[in-house]
Structure 1
Amino acid sequence: MDIQQAKDEYRKALRKGHREFRLRVAKGAYPYLQVLDDILENTQVERIEPLGLVNIPMESIVGTKTEGRKAAFAANFMPLLEEGTEFQMKWTNLCAAHMNEGIRDPIKAFEFMNRFYVQEGNKRVSVLKYFDAASIPGYVTRVVPRRSGSKGSEIYHEFLAFYDITKVNFIGFSEQGRFERLLMLTCNGKHEPWTEEQKRDFASVYYTFAGVFEKLGGKKLPITPGDALLMYLELYPYEQQIGRSSAEMEQTLEALWPEVVGLTKAGAVEVSMEPENHSAPLLSRILPLEQFTVNAAFLYEKSADTSAWVYAHEFGRSYVEEALPNRVYTHVYDNIRIGTDDDEVIERAIRDGSSVIFTTTPKLLGASLRAAARHPEVKILNCSLNMPHPTIRTYYGRLYEAKFILGAIAGALTENDKIGYFATYPIYGMTAGVNAFAIGAKLVNPRARIYLQWTSHKDGRGLDLFKEKDIHVISSPDTGLPKGERAYGVYLLTRENQPIPMAMPFWHWGEFYEKILRSILNNTWKADTAEDGCAVNYWWGIGSGMIDVLTSRGLPPGTKRLTEFLKQGLCEGKVDVFGGEVFDQGGRLVTPQNGSSFTPEEILKMDWLADNIVGQIPAFDDLIEIAKPLVKVQGIYRKEGQI
């Protein structure tokens, strides 16, 4: 390139600079480069440290160190000074040098909050930004602000820990917890320094993905390419993306685009608390219903012979076949190996003609989302809670309502004010169930104390602990297998260690499945679609018939009457489980200050325990290994934006 051609490029860059300047002025935005010295005037600095020679992402260079050159550039680093100036001559010479031999001299810059401010080399940055260069080498000094507790501050300090391990500075996130999650997905959470090969592989994956993200319209969304990449890697293993072409990645990401847009909803989930009564379209009312049939697949991790959970869903599936004969045909796929053949099983179900698929464990969420991307014509529902995924629907029951009643029963039965409680996993809704049980027990017995154990805790002591504390009223897993298991629900433990069942929650999945399948048969399925692309989560309670409490013949008549009274109150909306003053274990009032009830989201995400509970919520590292995959998906300490 000769000097005259370089001058032509300067004119084009100048027009870009003036255009950016005018646009920002029209919007009331600052039109020049940001100045780090101005920012630091109102910032408490924790430390300043040299990083040495670093490859700086061009998109992360946002300003200058001092204000000396700020008026020479628009906010996009394009020049503002007219032709004939010394500035123009130097810019032109750099432009010609870049095109003829490349700009190789490092700049000097300061990094603050993972944004870079140039001390020496502003014109080099301007030229390279004009030619859309990806990065530039530079000697960098990091300025670390004091931790303030703000969201931005917390994300930045998470980045610092990530950078110490990877030396990667080109990815950013809009929510907390995502840098650690990225480490989990790329290197199994190992906090060991990355090799040069690991850095190259990740850079290749990231920049390929970022290019596809931008091509599909990602720049219009209020999220970062990193946010979208993390969601993508939750579904498609990182190792499989290394070396993948942009065309292949684009095909996959385009199918997932509703999920990407869903990230902008900040985890928004539209919760359906009760079944809606939608009128069927006129055509459906005129034509005989028998003309419309549905093939529905039920996917289970285990079998009905080995799992009470699967047995309950199988009971519901059989109920649907009897309730909708010749209209609904069901197919069972059980003993699925999560992460091994789950994708293939869903594909097989679709090949077998299933147009509706119920995946009955949160562990099948990833496979459900991948299938939804491949087959948008298939309706897929996953049995889980509070999942922000608009391409599928999720469903569960408000089990805490049944737990409230069971707590009242246990409170009436205990003779020494002690009640044992076995919880399974610290996942969405589980803590609400524990608290509801404790509140129910306190309702009838103000002195009742709930001794909490987690079956998923690696140091759990089981019944031995309850025996030591002379506890004989116990709440165990919700249902037993059909072959004689008696230690389930609320039961009395005799001196001879024999369980006597008194009451149990009952999952009437058939009620849910029938209503969902009827909505499909009646063409009213779309009536439940959320506005603005939000995810739909069915979370029905006792009033829907999906949840119930069954009592044994041995329960005292007065306690049975109390059970029915509480059921009726819940169905009619006259009983609020978490109404009134509720205190946590630290004595803190957790009831909303304005006197309103807890929102569904607040109930789902409860991470505290009521004041009459003895025990605590286990940390993730304290869980048995078999529990961790489920808790990663549904755990109450799960970070927003992850699967």
Structure 2
Amino acid sequence: MDRRSFLKTTAATATLAGLGLPAWASDEPLKIGFIYVGPVGDMGWSYQHDVGRRAIEEALGDKVQTTYIENVPEGPDAERALTQLALEGNQLIFATSFGFMDATVNVAAKFPNVKFEHATGYKRSENLGTYDARFYEGRAIQGTIAGRMTKTNKIGYIGSFPIPEVIQGINAAYIHAKKVNPDVEIKVVWAYTWFDPAKEADAAAALIAEGCDFVLQHTDSTAPQAKAQEAGNVYTFGQASDMEAFMPSPRVASTIDNWAPYYVERATAALEGTWSADATWGGIGTGMVKIGEITEAVPAEVKAEAEKLIEMIGSGEYHPFTGPLNKQDGSVWLAEGETPDDGALAGLNFFVEGVSAEMPK
């Protein structure tokens, strides 16, 4: 990766309306940096963000120069990596993991003329925006397929960390599996990592040993797919990227994080001087969440049902969290026909009724 320094434009250049952030008016390319929590070859989360980075280069050519730092642990190392990117002249920096949030806030305050964006977080400032995808919409599709196809009535879920994003996914998968199969139950194993193939394989093995014939995941490697393939008669879904190497079975569909259009849009805004510190939360309807090919391992009638649900969610006709729904303790969460607002979802910290797993403290 080329990390050449260049002279930044002066304060006399055009500014963003109301923000005082310099628009790009230089003969040099706009430098854009990324930090990834895993390796770009994880074939999941970090890989998909890097697909977006490369889309910027393809769309904007020599107007931009991108770089990335991979395998950045959440915590102090993230602050050092972000600072490094800012000192190297990057004027737009994307921090792509929830645990980078506080580090991004701190570094953004130190570099007020640099534009920062944080994926899946909620803290913003004049030069710090956030972006996220409604992954729970994809989990609803997975739950529907798993609920229809399971023979053991046991669905497994590998959780990374007990944060709202992950809790949303577990709940959405269970709700929709239960809708099509009243006998289904969901078992959760917490891996406490985003990317660790050994831990992910162990978690998958534990779920399979408990009789789960579907294994869903909110972790980033293909290790659960490999473990399912080894076990036989166990199905999985691609996570973050398509993970097509495991088609048609055990990977029978996937939830794909489609960051590329967003990244191109935001880089273009930075070039044109229209960037602002927005909060974006896109889903199936906006194309930020895509459902990968549903394979021939899925019965035709189940595929049709899943495709109908995709259409209804994408059009806004149906919300995956539509009442009546109770909390795990039996108290009412959503009344008949009621749906939660985004604030309630962003702070979701409980399982729905019927999920037997305990919430980690």
Q: TM-score range by the shorter chain?
A: 0.7 to 0.9
Query: Which residue of structure 1 aligns with residue 108 of structure 2?
Result: 372
Report matched runs for 1:589-600 at 5 Å.
589-592=332-335, 596-600=338-342
Asked if the contact 1:317/1:510 (under 8 Å) is kept, the reply is: yes
Query: Which residue of structure 2 aligns with residue 510 of structure 1?
Result: 260
How far is the alpha carbon of 1:525 from its aligned partner? 2.0
- Secondary structure at the aligned position of 1:382 is classed as strand
- Secondary structure at the aligned position of 1:505 is classed as strand
Query: Which residue of structure 1 aligns with residue 187 of structure 2?
Result: 451
Asked if the contact 1:476/1:488 (under 8 Å) is kept, the reply is: no
1:314 aligns with 2:64: no
How far is the alpha carbon of 1:562 from its aligned partner? 2.1
Query: Which residue of structure 2 aligns with residue 573 of structure 1?
Result: 316
1:472 aligns with 2:213: yes
Is the alpha carbon distance of 1:437 and 1:379 closer, same or farther for their aligned partners in structure 2, counting shifts above 3 Å? same
Query: Which residue of structure 2 aligns with residue 98 of structure 1?
Result: none
Query: Which residue of structure 2 aligns with residue 588 of structure 1?
Result: 331
How far is the alpha carbon of 1:552 from its aligned partner? 3.0
Query: Which residue of structure 2 aligns with residue 137 of structure 1?
Result: none
1:579 counterpart letter in structure 2: T
Asked if the contact 2:174/2:355 (under 8 Å) is kept, the reply is: yes
Is the alpha carbon distance of 1:612 and 1:387 closer, same or farther for their aligned partners in structure 2, counting shifts above 3 Å? same
In 2, the alpha carbon distance for the partners of 1:310 and 1:463 equals 21
1:590 counterpart letter in structure 2: W
How far is the alpha carbon of 1:296 from its aligned partner? 1.0
Is the alpha carbon distance of 1:519 and 1:443 closer, same or farther for their aligned partners in structure 2, counting shifts above 3 Å? farther
Report matched runs for 1:110-149 at 5 Å.
none
In 2, the alpha carbon distance for the partners of 1:413 and 1:537 equals 37
How far is the alpha carbon of 1:520 from its aligned partner? 2.5
- Secondary structure at the aligned position of 2:118 is classed as strand
How far is the alpha carbon of 1:389 from its aligned partner? 4.7
In 2, the alpha carbon distance for the partners of 1:332 and 1:345 equals 10
Query: Which residue of structure 2 aligns with residue 267 of structure 1?
Result: none
- Secondary structure at the aligned position of 2:212 is classed as coil
Asked if the contact 2:235/2:250 (under 8 Å) is kept, the reply is: no
- With normalisation by structure 2, the TM-score equals 0.77
Query: Which residue of structure 2 aligns with residue 487 of structure 1?
Result: 225
- Aligned match of 2:290 in 541, 548, 551? 548
How far is the alpha carbon of 1:366 from its aligned partner? 3.0
Query: Which residue of structure 2 aligns with residue 533 of structure 1?
Result: none
1:472 counterpart letter in structure 2: D
How far is the alpha carbon of 1:478 from its aligned partner? 5.6
Asked if the contact 1:480/1:488 (under 8 Å) is kept, the reply is: no
- Secondary structure at the aligned position of 2:285 is classed as helix
Is the alpha carbon distance of 1:513 and 1:421 closer, same or farther for their aligned partners in structure 2, counting shifts above 3 Å? same
Query: Which residue of structure 1 aligns with residue 306 of structure 2?
Result: 563
How far is the alpha carbon of 1:370 from its aligned partner? 2.5
What 5-or-longer segments of structure 1 have no aligned partner?
A: 1-280, 282-288, 530-535, 620-643
Asked if the contact 2:114/2:127 (under 8 Å) is kept, the reply is: no
Report matched runs for 1:243-392 at 5 Å.
294-305=30-41, 308-336=44-72, 341-387=77-123, 389=125, 391-392=127-128
In 2, the alpha carbon distance for the partners of 1:496 and 1:388 equals 42
1:411 aligns with 2:147: yes
Cα deviation, 1:11-47, whole Å, max 9, x if unaligned, reads xxxxxxxxxxxxxxxxxxxxxxxxxxxxxxxxxxxxx
1:471 counterpart letter in structure 2: C
Query: Which residue of structure 1 aligns with residue 345 of structure 2?
Result: 603
Query: Which residue of structure 1 aligns with residue 203 of structure 2?
Result: 462
Is the alpha carbon distance of 1:489 and 1:564 closer, same or farther for their aligned partners in structure 2, counting shifts above 3 Å? farther
- Secondary structure at the aligned position of 1:305 is classed as coil
Is the alpha carbon distance of 1:347 and 1:604 closer, same or farther for their aligned partners in structure 2, counting shifts above 3 Å? closer
In 2, the alpha carbon distance for the partners of 1:303 and 1:324 equals 25
Is the alpha carbon distance of 1:358 and 1:490 closer, same or farther for their aligned partners in structure 2, counting shifts above 3 Å? farther
RMSD: 3.4
1:616 aligns with 2:358: yes
Is the alpha carbon distance of 1:344 and 1:488 closer, same or farther for their aligned partners in structure 2, counting shifts above 3 Å? same
In 1, the alpha carbon distance for the partners of 2:229 and 2:311 equals 23
What 5-or-longer segments of structure 2 have no aligned partner?
A: 1-16, 18-24, 194-198, 237-248
What percentage of aligned pairs have identical amino acids? 24
Asked if the contact 1:290/1:327 (under 8 Å) is kept, the reply is: no
Cα deviation, 1:167-194, whole Å, max 9, x if unaligned, reads xxxxxxxxxxxxxxxxxxxxxxxxxxxx
2:282 counterpart letter in structure 1: W
Cα deviation, 1:413-461, whole Å, max 9, x if unaligned, reads 1123221122111012211111111111122223222122222299x98
Asked if the contact 1:369/1:391 (under 8 Å) is kept, the reply is: no
Is the alpha carbon distance of 1:378 and 1:363 closer, same or farther for their aligned partners in structure 2, counting shifts above 3 Å? same
How far is the alpha carbon of 1:496 from its aligned partner? 9.1
Query: Which residue of structure 2 aligns with residue 183 of structure 1?
Result: none
Q: Which one has the bigger helix percentage?
A: 1
Answer with 600-609 or 336-345: which moved more.
336-345
- With normalisation by structure 1, the TM-score equals 0.45
Cα deviation, 1:521-549, whole Å, max 9, x if unaligned, reads 343323xx5xxxxxx43221111211112
Asked if the contact 2:213/2:234 (under 8 Å) is kept, the reply is: no
Answer with 424-433 or 556-565: which moved more.
556-565
Asked if the contact 1:492/1:501 (under 8 Å) is kept, the reply is: no
Is the alpha carbon distance of 1:310 and 1:574 closer, same or farther for their aligned partners in structure 2, counting shifts above 3 Å? same
2:121 counterpart letter in structure 1: L
Query: Which residue of structure 2 aligns with residue 262 of structure 1?
Result: none
In 2, the alpha carbon distance for the partners of 1:597 and 1:375 equals 39
